[in-house]
Amino acid sequence: MIDYIILTDTCSDLDSKTLKEIECEMVKTHIFIDDKDYLCDNDWITFSSKEFYDMIRNKKRIKTSQVDSFQFLDVFRKYNEQNMGVIYIATSSALSNCLNEARRAKEEILKENEKARIEIIDSLNACYSLGMLVIKACKLRKDGYSYEQLIEWIVNNKFKFNESGSVGDLTYLRNAGRISGTAAFFGGLLALKPIIVLNERGQNNDFEKVKGRKASYKRSAEIIRDNIDIDFDDNIHICHADCEDDVKEFASILLNLLGDKKVNLHYHIIDPTIGASVGPGTFIVDFASKEELRYIK
């Protein structure tokens, strides 16, 4: 009998249909548009993805915030009262404060019941690399993994997912405080594109820089070709910030480089929380990778 649930957050990019299929629960981050608070919605019900990314293009004032401890308290308390354990697979602590908010909530629940089972795991992932980890964990739970077995598996295997991609405009990273204004200015002037992967600290590692959009497609595809672990997971999730035509062009380049390797491509819109930081035109490709990719400087 399964006596625990798996919990994740908005930055996994998982939509409600997928969450229902894998029997996973999500806590939602916040986004503020002109100071009005919205819960982030990966189904794009409140506003369409096109409307959202156009707001960013039109310099609408948008800020983001993590899941707060009260949201976690509600979820933790609900399942504790049912004698259910919780495994929360969190967005990388290098990119979000959700992990710390969850820890605060856990401390409160343990004061109420010292036997409560709440495990909070720093995935060191974001976007669909986190989503892929969650999907895999839910499958293993269905296959009969115990609470303790699954925790051990997640901790030991979270580096087997990574990403490669680039942004459309460095301005948005500058506005989000991810790079300096000087770096954004000269990067834009020279049409430089950072090729991003996740490092061992769960940070977006500026793996290298290339000149021009087309070059960013090719280099990202090469990184995937050289590091993909199809035996572990043959799904590739291509996430984009309102640049569907661009990622179709990228997919063609990637499939050509992969040759006879058989993969399953999936397309998604980058969620509002991550999208507000990286901006329109960003593409992030998530895949099962060799763990060594995390340590390349």
Q: Which two tokens stand for residue 202?
A: 């769960």
Q: Please report which confidence band the pLDDT of residue 44 belongs to, taking 50, 70 and 90 as the band edges.
A: very high
CA separation for the pair 178, 62 (Å, rounded):
16
> Which is nearest to 165 in space by CA: 91, 254, 97?
254
Q: Which domains does the chain have, with CATH numbers?
A: 4-159 (3.40.50.10170), 160-295 (3.30.1180.10)
Whether pTM > 0.85 for this model: the answer is yes
Looking at residues 179-207, what average pLDDT do you find?
A: 65
Lowest mean pLDDT across 135-144, 192-201, 244-253: 192-201
Residue 271's region, left for phi above 0, alpha for psi from -120 to 50, else beta, is beta
State residue 167's pLDDT score: 87
CA distances (Å), origin 254, targets 150, 167, 195: 33, 17, 15
State residue 207's pLDDT score: 79
Q: What is the pLDDT of residues 24-40, one digit of tens each?
A: 999 999 999 998 999 99
Residue 188, pLDDT > 50, answer no
Lowest mean pLDDT across 36-45, 98-107, 169-178, 204-213: 169-178
What backbone phi and psi angles, to 5 degrees, belong to 170?
-65, -15
Q: Are the C-beta atoms of residues 83 and 3 closer than 8 Å to each other?
A: yes
